Amino acid sequence: MSVLLATLALLLAAIFAVCCVLLASFIGSLLYMVVLHHRLKEAGLRREETLLATPLPPDAELPHVVVQIPSFNEGAVVRRGAESAADLDWPRDKLHIQLLDDSTDETAEMVRAVASELRAKGFDVVALQRTDRSGYKGGALHEAMQKTPYDYFAIFDVDYIPPPDFLRVCMRPFFAEPKTAFVQARFDFLNPHENALTEMQMVTLDAHLGIEQATRCWAGHPLPFNGTCGIWQRAAIEAGGGWKGDTVTEDLDLTYRGWVKGWRALFLTSVGVPGELPADTKTWLRQQQRWQDGFRHVSWRMFPEILKSRTITPAAKGAALLHLCMSLNQPVLLVGVAAGLLAALLAPSLIPLLLTLFIITFAWVLFCATTFLRAGHNFIRGGEIPPGEFAIVLLRFVGGQAATVIRSLGVHVKKLFSKPKPVVFDRTPKRGT
């Protein structure tokens, strides 16, 4: 082997090693969150209980609340979403429902029909239907907010069904802590046991919500809005610059823009709102790709804002940057795999070293993921998941992550050989499960 090829092989091996260290660090942050969760859980749950015990004022003094339900070609599921909003326990003269429909199929007529029916029953329901989808969901939320003077906005994706007491429960923290930007309820699921894919999503989202979101709230770290099942305060939306439609993760974007301006949020572990999980792999992969792309976009946008802020403590900056760095998982993994394979091809003598690094990194990732998933599911569901069932979920999780990386690679390769395209919001289809 020439000196040049040997040097190149060593350089590629070094890149592979750096990528292994970065991935180990990223996934290790989840293990840190588990440890922090156990340390803060007692005080965090006690604070949540105290906030939810805050008395509401008499009905005559309650604020107006606008329920916003974005939809796009959702079919008959829009009726269920609209009717669940109308069932919310809140003074009728102070409950306002906006159906934000950008549909291009027969859903548009369904939305107009259900809005008309609910108005006939005495509810304040409007169908806001745009002639174009500028800004997608973020654009729809922005335009709808301009059409009402009220200060509180409860946002639900069309497939989520809030319990009737949702507003009575989730509005309480605003009276205890008026500077709360938003109150985020926990996702629950309508079809968690439909198949192995939905089982895996249930466990994964339980970990995200029960460990990541709850712990961020308790620790005072940035708490990302999950896009649905939450109530925003107008002042916080405006302080963050309003909803924007130039990213497909408008929820994360607004969260961080408001956070750097000093607004903080609350996550409620005890309030669950059931919604629909994607039940086929193709739909789920598209959803994951959209989330990954949006996460990276917001991360690059917010890195400079966080670093230059003079009001955020160094510890809070570190927590925010660590969270946003998770968006680099896929690129780092892709670079690491490519570098490792090329190094092995150029210098077979390096294979034992490369393989050792891979095994150590994979074992660490598997340990952290297992601990994280079990801790979150057990916290939310209140019991140990059977080992055999968890093994299937873990295999599905590892396979799913590999599939998202492969799909991401295909997407990026395709982009190299095609003209740049504008950001497109690729919605997750709803079946009305």
Q: Catalytic site residues?
A: 102, 251
Contact 95, 102 (CB under 8 A): no
Six-digit token string for 104: 């291009």
Q: Residue 228: exposed, middle, or buried by beta-carbon count in 10 A (0-12, 13-18, 19+)?
A: buried
Alpha-carbon span 315 to 220, nearest angstrom: 10
- DSSP per position, 391-426: HHHHHHHHHHHHHHHHHHHHHHHHHHTS--------
Distances (CA, A) of 68 to 71, 276, 387: 10, 18, 41
Pairing of strands 264-275, 180-189: parallel
Six-digit token string for 356: 């050792």
* Alpha-carbon torsion angle 206, 209, 211, 215, nearest 10: -160
Query: How many C-alpha atoms does 373 have within 13 Å on its Cβ side?
Result: 25
Strand partners of residue 266: 183
**To which residue do tokens 């929820």 refer?**
251
Alpha-carbon span 356 to 369, nearest angstrom: 20
Pairing of strands 95-101, 65-71: parallel
Alpha-carbon span 196 to 394, nearest angstrom: 10
Alpha-carbon span 418 to 73, nearest angstrom: 28
End-to-end, the C-alpha distance of the chain in Å comes to 61
Contact 97, 123 (CB under 8 A): yes
